[in-house]
């Protein structure tokens, strides 16, 4: 069995990819279904070519994961396998993606063959761009988050129509560019020094849902960054927390609460760059969400979920002296309450900035479409306070299964945000001060009951 064959087996042996396959099949079927609906529209053959970019972005991670293992150096010819793996997957996928152009209307047999070949190389270019991002940037899978923006921009500026016309009307140019791109990427991926750069480098890849591996990677990275982190440590902030801790006995809940707050909040707060980044992000989001209308509400549901997923709750710990059950219960309540404050501040700042932008930002017209800035509704202020307790409750119940946490949180966001966006008028009539207070009491009451059950009844050993 060749080394390439062994690496290709990862495509069906990795259980983490099975969900990816389901999502890709759904998108592929949607791209094919567009060909058979209603009147013919330009640009409807481009779906699988865009999907090729995502395939390259995801599947190029697999050989990098193997390449980062020092044992791979014991396998002869393994460093040359990377580009063969990338091109095998790309060629196989784009062969099937280009077959759609066989049903392209108003072309004779010769033109159809040229159009199919042109579509194959166009898809290969898209695929290789995605694969090149993996090798050129760390955490490159995060670029998928920009895909909806790219698709929206392509639809708005008719880029899909332009791309389809270029593929059909200029096949020789597309084929030439595709061949040249393939040769350049083939030579670039064959660099011998690439394997040395990735050897023994912590690489998450598709193991982002593996708590043990993510903890190991975090420790390795923090060990290398600890010296840099010391420069940002504020002696004044450290003295403040230690002074509060020393006011209590060693076995008291107060000492544990202040220690938990110090461990959970001091590291990000002490970095001025992080604060400036948050301010810039809030300003930019306030500006762009004003043009999204009711869709801006989704961000107020999504923002707390990201914060909850990245926060370390002082509940589970592998240290035997890290606190008793009551101390962890009190420390978690305090940490969550403190965390809700900056979430609310960010929400208030975004609403206030949107009102300011509404007074100074003029409307503009682009491609005969008028964009009018609208202030973010003040009703969105209660959304983070509502979604935060439910998110923490879900995380406490499934703390060992991050994939379940993410899936359930997305389901909760969908169930809460969908009525607001689709049935805005009917839903608005149901929202008043009494209903908001009832929902907040229900959410925080549920969180307290779940937290009390976890802290008092379930095992707290391990880091979760």
Is 347 buried (19+), middle (13-18) or exposed (0-12) by CB count in 10 A?
buried
* pLDDT recorded at residue 233: 53
Q: Positive or negative CA dihedral for 149, 150, 151, 155?
A: positive
DSSP assignment letter at 369? E
Higher pLDDT, 365 or 464: 365
Q: How confident is the model at residue 266 (pLDDT cuts 50, 70, 90)?
A: very low
Higher pLDDT, 170 or 75: 170
CB atoms within 10 A of CB 461: 11
Q: What is the mean pLDDT of residues 88-93?
A: 92
* pLDDT recorded at residue 117: 93
Q: How confident is the model at residue 246 (pLDDT cuts 50, 70, 90)?
A: confident
Tokens linked to 444? 């925080």
Q: What is the mean pLDDT of residues 174-196?
A: 85
Please, how many CA atoms are within 13 Å of residue 330, restricted to the half-sphere of its CB?
13
Q: What is the pLDDT of residues 345-370, one digit of tens each?
A: 888 888 888 888 888 877 777 666 67
Q: What is the pLDDT of residues 367-389, one digit of tens each?
A: 666 777 888 877 778 888 888 88
Higher pLDDT, 128 or 426: 128
pTM score: 0.60
Cβ-contact 314, 253 below 8 angstroms: no
pLDDT higher than 80, residue 93: yes
Mean pLDDT, the chain, whole residue set: 77
For residue 459, report the phi and psi dihedrals to the nearest 5 degrees.
Answer: -70, 135
Is 254 buried (19+), middle (13-18) or exposed (0-12) by CB count in 10 A?
middle
β-bridge mates for residue 370, sequence order? 365
pLDDT higher than 80, residue 291: no
pLDDT higher than 60, residue 285: yes
pLDDT higher than 80, residue 278: no
Q: What is the mean pLDDT of residues 392-396?
A: 87
Q: What is the mean pLDDT of residues 314-327?
A: 74
pLDDT higher than 60, residue 424: no
SS3 317: strand
* pLDDT recorded at residue 190: 79
* pLDDT recorded at residue 68: 74
Q: How confident is the model at residue 39 (pLDDT cuts 50, 70, 90)?
A: low
pLDDT higher than 60, residue 333: yes
* pLDDT recorded at residue 102: 86
* pLDDT recorded at residue 373: 80
Higher pLDDT, 199 or 21: 21
């Amino acid at each position: 069995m060749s080394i390439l064959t062994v690496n290709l087996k990862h495509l069906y042996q990795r259980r983490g990819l099975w969900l990816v396959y389901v999502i890709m099949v759904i998108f592929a079927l949607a791209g094919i279904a567009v060909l058979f609906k209603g009147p013919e529209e330009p640009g409807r053959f481009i779906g699988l070519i865009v999907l090729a970019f995502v395939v390259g972005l995801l599947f190029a991670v697999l050989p990098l994961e193997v390449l980062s293992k020092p044992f791979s150096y014991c396998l002869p010819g393994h460093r040359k396998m990377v580009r063969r793996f990338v091109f095998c997957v790309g060629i196989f996928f784009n062969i099937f993606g280009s077959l759609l152009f066989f049903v392209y209307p108003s072309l004779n047999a010769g033109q159809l063959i040229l159009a199919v070949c042109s579509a194959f190389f166009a898809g290969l270019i898209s695929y290789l761009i995605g694969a090149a991002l993996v090798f050129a940037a760390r955490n490159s899978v995060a670029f998928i988050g920009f895909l909806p923006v790219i698709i929206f921009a392509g639809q708005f500026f008719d880029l899909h129509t332009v791309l389809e016309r270029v593929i059909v009307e200029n096949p020789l140019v597309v084929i030439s560019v595709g061949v040249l791109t393939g040769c350049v990427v083939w030579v670039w991926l064959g660099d011998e020094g690439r394997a040395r750069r990735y050897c023994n480098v912590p690489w998450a890849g598709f193991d982002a849902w593996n708590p043990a591996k993510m903890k190991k990677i975090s420790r390795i990275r923090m060990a290398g960054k600890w010296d840099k982190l010391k420069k940002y440590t504020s002696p004044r902030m450290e003295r403040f927390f230690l002074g509060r801790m020393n006011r209590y006995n060693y076995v008291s809940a107060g000492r544990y609460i202040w220690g938990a707050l110090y461990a959970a909040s001091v590291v990000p707060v002490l970095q001025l760059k992080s604060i400036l980044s948050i301010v810039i992000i809030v300003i930019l989001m306030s500006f762009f969400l004003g043009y999204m209308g009711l869709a801006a509400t989704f961000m107020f549901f999504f923002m707390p979920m990201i914060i909850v997923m990245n926060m370390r709750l002082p509940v589970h710990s592998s240290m035997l002296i890290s606190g008793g059950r009551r101390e962890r219960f009190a420390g978690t309540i305090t940490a969550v309450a403190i965390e809700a404050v900056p979430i609310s501040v960010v929400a208030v700042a975004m609403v206030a900035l949107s009102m300011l932008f509404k007074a100074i930002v003029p409307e503009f017209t682009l491609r005969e479409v008028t964009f009018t800035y609208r202030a973010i509704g003040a009703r969105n202020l209660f959304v983070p306070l509502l979604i935060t307790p439910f998110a923490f409750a879900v995380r406490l119940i499934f703390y060992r299964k991050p994939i379940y946490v993410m899936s359930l949180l997305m389901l909760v966001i969908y169930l809460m945000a969908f009525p607001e966006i689709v049935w805005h008028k009917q839903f608005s009539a149901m929202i008043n001060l009494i209903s908001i207070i009832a929902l907040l009491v229900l959410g925080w009451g549920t969180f307290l009951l779940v937290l009390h059950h976890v802290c008092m009844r379930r095992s707290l050993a391990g880091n979760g």
